[in-house]
Amino acid sequence: MNIDIIEESADVLPEYARMPISFVVRSIFDVQLVDGGLKGVKLLERPVDVPWTKDYDAFRDEGPARWRDRWDISNWGVISAFVRGSRAGGCAIAYDTPGVHKLEGRKDIAAIWDIRVAPRYRGNGIGGRLVDAAVAWAERRGCRMLNVETQNINVPACRFYAKHGFTLGAINRHAYSEFPDEVELIWCRKIADRAPIPHAGSASTSTPC
């Protein structure tokens, strides 16, 4: 599949929002504490009895077209994927934004705020290309870490992040008062230290970033 990845301005968010983010929950990760956590934490995948649809955009009408009303998104990045001219996927990256707790007030962390691939295009490598572009975007801003939040009910996304170099950074079993059965999982991808830029006139042959 021929996939074009481009960075766009936040003006496209209403169009971006037309791609559904919803997915079907067929299994969940139960978070099991061994000896209250003293002897470890396990994620155990369990099929649900009746599959159901989760739609993040439906929660308090919080879809991408509304982000501008809630946050100063002037430092954010929007990366889009197109297949034969059709919008097929997108990723929004939050960076250096007051009030976004996930960024911890640091300039060396960026967060994937949203990533979605239109249902008919899922499973074709588009999400992976968006993650690669998000990592490069964060690296250009000097970030050392790219984080993303998901939940134990989004098993495909967990597997997707793990496949793309993220590891579990935090588990919060009590994060969502509105969804007490859901567990927050923060996945983190380290961004490699940049190679030192050689001084002018240096004989080094390494390539500066």
Ligand X SMILES: CC(C)(COP(=O)(O)OP(=O)(O)OC[C@H]1O[C@@H](n2cnc3c(N)ncnc32)[C@H](O)[C@@H]1OP(=O)(O)O)[C@@H](O)C(=O)NCCC(=O)NCCS
Binding site for ligand X (CB under 6 A): 21, 23, 115-117, 122-128, 150, 154, 156-157, 159-160, 163
CA 91 – CA 166 distance, rounded (Å)? 16
Q: Judged by CB, which is closer to ligand X: 52, or 197?
A: 52
Q: How far is the CB of 34 from ligand X (least distance, A)?
A: 26
Q: How far is the CB of 107 from ligand X (least distance, A)?
A: 23
Q: Which two tokens stand for residue 130?
A: 């968006």
Nearest to 111 by CA among 133, 125, 96, 128: 96
Residue bearing tokens 């994060």: 175
Q: Judged by CB, which is closer to ligand X: 18, or 40?
A: 18
Q: Judged by CB, which is closer to ligand X: 70, or 163?
A: 163
Measured CA distances, 49 to 5, 26, 31, 46, 56 (Å) = 38, 8, 18, 9, 21
Q: Judged by CB, which is closer to ligand X: 18, or 107?
A: 18
Q: How far is the CB of 194 from ligand X (least distance, A)?
A: 26
Q: How far is the CB of 201 from ligand X (least distance, A)?
A: 44
Contact present, 183 and 171 (Cβ < 8 Å): yes
Per the document, the length of the chain is: 209
Question: Nearest residue to ligand X, using CB?
Answer: 127
